[in-house]
């Protein structure tokens, strides 16, 4: 049976929201930059939060929130992976979890590998943990991107102590293969390094997308790594503050248990409640409908770019609602999003912010209505047409 795509809310309702997506720019700008979605909440989440408000259930988050058990069951259903709830802890968000783990596996001044082009806050997370960034860019293949394992090996051989991995990768949507992740684990083990895998976009993976949680890649990966994840991207819960840190081995579990209680106390009460509802079986159908809507928009963007922005280079992302588009051929400089915002009134994420490989690129957010996506690309296409007319 074909899953019916979820429908986005209309613009007049969305513009009543107070989140960053809808308050950063004036109303004449179409916002397709930050990773928020334009869909209604999953019904189970709405009911849970409405009930909590009616009860005045707004106190501190309980250590027995149910998030760990809910995530373990979700991972089993969606990824065929069975993490142990006893080896998890929660915190406010994935970036905080990344930082707290890095602080405990590196010393001040140590180097941590990142794989640009990558989510810009990764650079800040490494600095917040007191470490230095070592960049090992992804390798571009004809059909996508992959980890540069030889480059990562050289970084570890040169003294880097950890890697902050993006899996699935933001902005390319790459789901690193099980073989690649297992090889990364072997390299890390050989040099005594740690892998911190940010898997915030993993809940958006289709069952046929080939997504592998890092800790499930091999027995070695389970020993050398941590996963940090959340319902926040897939279910649009970023403002409610709840993430899960996962270990799969005795020493790594001890590291999580040894964190100060305050790390877990930062978990938002509404975030924990919403995460339990999001990870529940009841929300699976909603999530499948969301993924169907994103898949349709990913294909639509390919068609729109071919018609209106023929110089664009774009690969449909295997996972997630972020689209990485190369506009270098248009001659709009290293940061084409700046001109697009100024002249087309479309807000896209700036490619250079993602590091090496970002010049000339923009990142689209596909978690919107087809109508909004169409208008955005048509506006950009009008700039292309205008440039061509000027050259004639």
**Sequential pLDDT tens for the chain (392 residues):** 579 999 999 999 999 999 999 999 999 999 999 999 999 999 999 999 999 999 999 999 988 899 999 999 999 999 999 999 999 999 999 999 999 999 999 999 999 999 999 999 999 999 999 999 999 999 998 889 999 999 999 999 999 999 999 999 999 999 999 999 999 999 999 999 999 999 999 999 987 777 999 999 999 999 999 999 999 999 999 999 999 999 999 999 999 999 999 999 999 999 999 999 999 999 999 999 999 999 999 999 999 999 999 999 999 999 999 999 999 999 999 999 999 999 999 999 999 999 999 999 999 999 999 999 999 999 999 999 987 777 76
Question: Taking a C-beta distance cutoff of 8 angstroms, is the pair 323, 314 a contact?
Answer: yes
pLDDT at 207: 75
Q: How many CB atoms lie within 10 A of CB 251?
A: 9
- Domain ranges for the chain, please list them: 11-40+284-385, 44-281
pLDDT at 77: 96
To the question of pTM greater than 0.95 for the whole model, the response is: yes
Question: Taking a C-beta distance cutoff of 8 angstroms, is the pair 309, 381 a contact?
Answer: yes
| Domain 44-281 of CATH type 3.40.640.10 | yes
Q: Do domains 11-40+284-385 and 44-281 have the same CATH topology?
A: no
Give the C-alpha separation, 339 to 351, whole Å.
12
What pairs with residue 349 in β-bridges?
Answer: 363
Residue 35 phi, psi dihedral angles, 5° rounding: -85, 70
pLDDT at 386: 86
3 state DSSP class of 243: strand
Task: Tell me the C-alpha to C-alpha distance, in Å, between residue 366 and each of 37, 299, 322, 343.
Answer: 8, 10, 6, 21
Task: Say which CATH class 11-40+284-385 falls into.
Answer: alpha beta
Peptide bond into 349 cis (omega under 30): no
pLDDT at 84: 98
- Give the helix/strand (H/E) hosting 197: strand 194-198
Q: Indicate the burial class of 90 (C-beta count within 10 angstroms; 0-12, 13-18, 19 or more).
A: buried
């Amino acid at each position: 049976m074909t899953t019916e795509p979820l429908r986005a809310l209309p613009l007049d309702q969305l513009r009543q929201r107070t989140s960053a997506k809808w308050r950063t720019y004036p109303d004449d700008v179409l916002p397709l930059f930050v990773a928020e979605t334009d869909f209604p909440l999953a019904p189970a989440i709405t009911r849970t939060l409405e009930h909590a408000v009616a009860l005045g259930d707004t106190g501190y988050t309980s250590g027995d929130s149910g998030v760990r058990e809910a995530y373990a069951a979700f991972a089993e259903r969606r990824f065929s992976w069975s993490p142990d709830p006893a080896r998890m802890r929660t915190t406010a968000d994935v970036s905080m979890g990344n930082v707290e783990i890095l602080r405990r596996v590196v010393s001040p001044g140590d180097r941590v590998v990142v794989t640009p082009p990558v989510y810009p806050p990764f650079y800040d997370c490494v600095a917040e943990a007191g470490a230095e960034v070592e960049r090992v860019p992804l390798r571009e293949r004809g059909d996508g991107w992959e980890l540069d394992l030889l480059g990562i090996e050289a970084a570890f051989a040169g003294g880097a102590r950890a890697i902050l991995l993006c899996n699935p990768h933001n902005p390319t949507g790459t789901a690193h293969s099980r073989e690649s992740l297992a090889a990364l684990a072997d390299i890390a083990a050989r040099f005594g390094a740690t892998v911190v895998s940010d898997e915030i976009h993993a809940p958006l993976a289709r069952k046929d997308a080939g997504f592998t949680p890092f800790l499930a890649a091999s027995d070695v990966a389970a020993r050398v790594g941590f996963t940090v994840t959340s319902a926040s991207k897939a279910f649009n819960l970023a403002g409610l503050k709840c993430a899960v840190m996962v270990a799969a081995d005795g020493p790594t579990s001890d590291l999580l248990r040894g964190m100060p209680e305050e790390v877990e106390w930062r978990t938002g009460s509404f975030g924990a409640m919403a995460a339990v509802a999001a990870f529940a079986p009841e929300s699976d159908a909603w999530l499948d409908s969301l993924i169907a809507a994103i898949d349709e928009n990913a294909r639509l963007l390919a068609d729109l770019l071919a018609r209106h922005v023929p110089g664009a280079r774009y690969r449909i992302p295997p996972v997630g609602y972020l689209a990485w588009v190369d506009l270098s051929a248009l001659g709009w400089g290293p940061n084409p999003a700046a001109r697009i915002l100024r002249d087309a009134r479309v807000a896209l994420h700036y490619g250079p912010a993602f590091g090496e490989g970002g010049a000339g690129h923009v990142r689209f957010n596909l978690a919107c209505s087809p109508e909004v996506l169409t208008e955005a690309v048509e506006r950009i296409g009008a700039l292309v047409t205008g440039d061509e007319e000027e050259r004639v």
